[in-house]
Amino acid sequence: MALSKITNGGITGMSVSSTDVTVSSGDLLFGTAAKGVCLGVTSNTDGNTLDDYEEGTWTAQMLGTTTNPSATVLATTATYKKVGTMVWAGATFVGVNTTGASGGVVISGMPFNSDFTVPMGNVMSQNTFNVGSTVANITPFWASSTQVWFYHTLHGSNIWGSVQHSAGASRYLYLSLIYTTAS
């Protein structure tokens, strides 16, 4: 097995053998755009090329479909991870004041625009939504490429509707979304 080493000042930065590439320190960078790591294949096929990964924070804002809260309501924490065109985004609104908000609950400021092909997610609300005892499910719904609204269904029926604000002080909302983007 042949082994090649790339060294600088006596320190091996990378070694290449007939079976592995080892990066001892630093990062593996591609010299041009639109390149990536081909997984599980012996040739470059777009379907198996990991060519985009990103993670970070985003500015999630809570709004209302009729009126917005009196003061700007931003998430306590909002993070995302993007692999290819798949995005996971999560946000927590902890102890926020939604006084003045009315109508449906809206979250805006998504880290990437949705392409509407795979809109999924879940939500847990302690006291942000005004829901009755017959509500069976609350789910995020993409109202536009940058905004999510929330809808509910009722036990034992096919009736659904927009989830309304329960405006006031010390409100909580936790959500996570999985969706696809064109970029």
Within-domain flag for 42: no
Residue pLDDT, tens place only, 30-68 = 777 777 787 778 777 777 777 788 999 999 999 999 999
Within-domain flag for 81: yes
Quick one: 5 and 84 in the same domain? no
Quick one: 58 and 22 in the same domain? no
Distances (CA, A) of 177 to 21, 66, 112, 141: 36, 24, 12, 10
The answer on pLDDT for 88 being more than 90 is yes
- How many Cα atoms within 13 Å fall on the side-chain side of residue 51? 14
In this prediction, residues 8-12 reach a mean pLDDT of 71
d(Cα 163, Cα 140) in Å, to the nearest integer?
10
Residue pLDDT, tens place only, 127-163 = 677 777 777 777 888 888 889 888 888 777 777 788 8
The answer on pLDDT for 126 being more than 70 is no
Quick one: 11 and 78 in the same domain? no
Quick one: 22 and 105 in the same domain? no
State the CATH number of the domain containing residue 100. Answer: 2.60.90
> Which range (14-18, 124-128, 145-149) has the least confidence?
124-128
Within-domain flag for 37: no
Please tell me the predicted confidence (pLDDT) of residue 151. Answer: 83
Distances (CA, A) of 77 to 86, 91, 96, 119, 133: 20, 6, 12, 21, 29
Within-domain flag for 39: no
Quick one: 61 and 13 in the same domain? no
Quick one: 110 and 75 in the same domain? yes
The answer on pLDDT for 119 being more than 70 is no
The answer on pLDDT for 5 being more than 80 is no
- Its domain, for residue 10, covers 1-30
| Number of domains comprising the chain | 2
Quick one: 157 and 82 in the same domain? yes
